[in-house]
Amino acid sequence: MIAGSKQTRMLNELLQACRTNLPSVNEDAMQKAFKLSMEAHKNHRRDSGEPYFYHPYAVAMIVVKEIALDDISVISALLHDVVEDTDFSLKFIEKEFGTEVAEIVDGVTKISGVFKGHEISQAENYRKMLLSMVKDLRVILVKFADRMHNMRTLEFVRADKQRRIAKETLEIYAPFANRFGLGRVKWELEDLSFKYLNKEAYNEIAKKLQDKRKEREQYIAKFIAPLAEKLDKHGLEYNIAGRAKHIYSIYKKMIKLNTSFDKIFDLLAVRIILEGNDANECFYVLGVINQIYKPIPDRFKDYISIPKKNNYQSIHNTVIGQQGKLVEVQIRTRKMHEIAEKGVAAHWRYKENFQKNDKELEEWVNWIRDVFENANKNEATKEIMASFKLNLYQDEIYVFTPKGDLKRLPAGSTPVDFAFDIHTNVGYHCIGAKVNGKIVPLSTMLHSGDQVEIITSKNQHPNKNWQQFVVTHKAKAQVRKHLNREEERLVEAGREIWERKLKKYKLSFNHDDVQRLLNKLKFDNPAQFFKNISQDKLNVDDILNPPEVEAKEEDNEMEFTTFADIARTNIGGVEIDGDYKGFEVNYAKCCSPIPGDPIIGYVTIGEGIKIHRKDCKNLIRMSENGSERLVRAGWPKRKDSLFVAGIKIRGEDTPGLLKEISNSITNFQNTNIKAINITASDSMFDGTVTVFVKDIAHLGQLIERLKKNKKIYSVERFDSETA
C-alpha cells in the first residue's frame, strides 16, 4: 500500500502537470479517478514488486506531459486497467465518469486483449485492425502511453516475454506512432525495443555514443557559436541545441549502408527552433547557415513546402562543419516542433498509400489543417477532441483463427463467412462455431479482435437458411452452388422413385398424362413434382393406386418396436367416440403419441384403430383419400400411466457427457430410461434417448433440463416424422 503522504504528493504532481499542459482540467473528476484507481489496484503488484497503481499513474503522467491530450484522456489513463483487472464494471465507470471515459477504457481493454497469445505476422493488418476496433482517437493515444511505460519497465519481466513485447512494439506500435506524428514516442519505442531484441548491438552503439559524448558536446558548442551570433544580430527569437542521434536509427543506417559505426558521418545533429510561427523565417535561417557553412545539396530536404504523410514539417540541411565533419541541421517553428514531437492526430493521414483523388479524405485533412492554422490552441484542442472519430476501416473487420492467424473480412461477416474464407471444405461442413471461447449461432455477426473456432461435421452441409446471413462473395457462391446440386439430386431421386412405381403397377404415363397430373396436384413443373416425391411430401402409391394402397408407416430409427404393447398395458384404453367403441386400438409408430398430444383415430384394414397425433404427416396424407376413416379419440384421465417417448440430442462430444445426460433424466421425477443410442464424429455427437413419461408436460420438462447443458446444442422430441 502507498503511504498517505506519498499519495498526496503524487496527486498534487498530477494535478499540477494537468494545469500546466492542458487547456482545462476537471480537478474533482481527476481526484476521483486517482482514488478509484488506487483502491481498485490496492492488492495488485507489478512484476517489479512495486504497487500496481504506479503503472496507471505513470501512464496518466505520460499522457499529460508527453502527448498532452485532454483531462478526459488523463482520467481514462488512470482507469485503463480497472475493468480488465478488477471487479469494477464498465457500466460503473460510465455512471461515475461519463460515456467518453467508458468508451476509451473499453477500447484500450479490447486492444490489450487482441495481442495475447497471437504471433505477429501481418503488421499492417494489425495496425488497421487497431483502428477498426475503436471509435475515439484517444483510445489509440492512451494505448501508446500504456505501451511506453510497459517498455520503460520491461526489464522486470522474463526474457521470452521481453522479446515478444519488444517485437510487437517495434512492428506495430512504433510505426503506428510515426503515422500519428508522435516522433518522440516513436524514437523511444524503437530504441527500447531494439535494446531487448538485439542487446549486443544496442550496448555496443550506446557505449560508443557515450565514449564520444564529451567530444561531441564540445564540437557542437563550437559549431553553434557563429550561428548564434548571426541569429542574434538578426533579432530572431530561437532555441538552438545539439541533438543526439537515436540508437536504432544509427543501427538501421549501418545495416542499410553495410558499414560500421565509425564510418557513419552524420552522427552530429543540431536543431534550431524558431519561437514565431512564420515558416518564412525557417528559410531565412537556412540562408544564414549556408553563408557560414558549406551545404551538401543532395542531403537537403524541405519538409515544410512538402510535409510528410503525417504532416511532419521541418527543413533538414546537412553542412560541412569544422574539421570537415558533417552536421545535420534541422530548422522548424515551435508549432512544427510540437507537432513533430508530441503529434497531432489531425495531421495524420489514415491511408498508407494516400490517393489524391480520394476527395472525401482530402477534404477532411484540409479541414483539420485549417483548424490548426486559424484557431488558437485551446479552441483547436477542444474542437478536435470533440469531433475526432475513426471510421475509415469500419467497413472491414480483423479476426483470428485459434492459432492466431489473422483474417480480414467485410463488416457484418458471420462464422460461416469465416469458415469459407479458411477453406471451402471447412465452410461446407461447418456445424457450429465458438467466438472468444463461447458457442454462438452461425448467424452471429463477428467483430474486430474476435477469435473464431469452427466446429465441423462430415454429415453437415450448407442449408438454404445460410443464404439469409452470409455476406462474402465466396460463401454466397458456394452455398448457392451446393443448394443447386442438392436440388438436382433430389429431382433425380424423385424421378427414379416415380419410374420404379410405374413399373410396379405396370402403368405408362406420356408427357400429356404427366402434365395433367401436375395441374391436378398444382405443381408448376416436373422438377418440383419429383423433388416433393424424394422428400416424402408425396406418396406415389396413393397417387397411382389410392383405393388399394394403404400408407405404410416408416420404421423409426429408435427402437419403438414394443411401443404399442407397452401403451396398451398402461393406458387402460383410449376413449373412442361413436360406433367404434370396443375396436382393437394400436398406437402409430410414425408419430408415437403420448398423453397431452392432440390425437385422432384412423380405421385400418385388419389392424383396428391406429391412434395418431393430429399433426402426423402420414395421417394427413392418408386422410386425403379416406377422411371417412377418421374417428375422434381422447386420453383417459389416469395419473399412473407411463408412455414411451423419444428425445433427439446433438452436441459437443466430451468425456462424461453420457453420464451427465443420464443423470439429468433419471434425477427428474425418477424418470426411467428405456434406451440410449449415441454416435460421435469429429468432436460432435448425435444421440437418441427413449424414456418413459407420464404425459407431454413431463416430456417437455425433460427437454428443458437437457437444454441447460452448455455442451448440448439442440434437444427435440424424436419420432419418425423428425427422423
DSSP, collapsed to helix, strand or coil, labels residue 680 as strand
Q: Which of 27, 85, 358, 575 is catalytic?
A: 85
State the Cα–Cα distance between residues 60 and 41, nearest whole angstrom.
15
Query: Does residue 85 carry a catalytic annotation?
Result: yes
Work out the number of other CB atoms within 10 angstroms of the CB of residue 222: 11
Query: Does residue 352 carry a catalytic annotation?
Result: no
Work out the number of other CB atoms within 10 angstroms of the CB of residue 372: 18
Do the strands 406-410 and 396-400 form a parallel or antiparallel pair, or are they unpaired? antiparallel
State the Cα–Cα distance between residues 419 and 713, nearest whole angstrom.
19
Do the strands 430-435 and 452-456 form a parallel or antiparallel pair, or are they unpaired? antiparallel
State the Cα–Cα distance between residues 13 and 54, nearest whole angstrom.
13
Contacts of residues 38-45 at CB distance under 8 Å and 24 or more positions apart, as own/partner, are 38/2, 38/7, 40/82, 40/85, 40/86, 40/88, 41/81, 41/82, 41/85, 41/86, 42/1, 44/85, 44/86
* Residue of 333, 108, 326 whose CA lies nearest to 220: 326
- In Å, how far are 156, 249, 271 from 187, measured between CA atoms? 22, 8, 16
Q: Which of 27, 84, 554, 686 is catalytic?
A: 84
State the Cα–Cα distance between residues 237 and 232, nearest whole angstrom.
8
Return the half-sphere exposure (C-beta side, CA atoms, 13 A cut-off) of residue 13: 12
Contact present, 430 and 455 (Cβ < 8 Å): yes
Assigned C-alpha cell, 12 = 498534487
H or E stretch covering 483: helix 473-504
State the Cα–Cα distance between residues 431 and 416, nearest whole angstrom.
9
Please identify every residue annotated as catalytic.
84-85
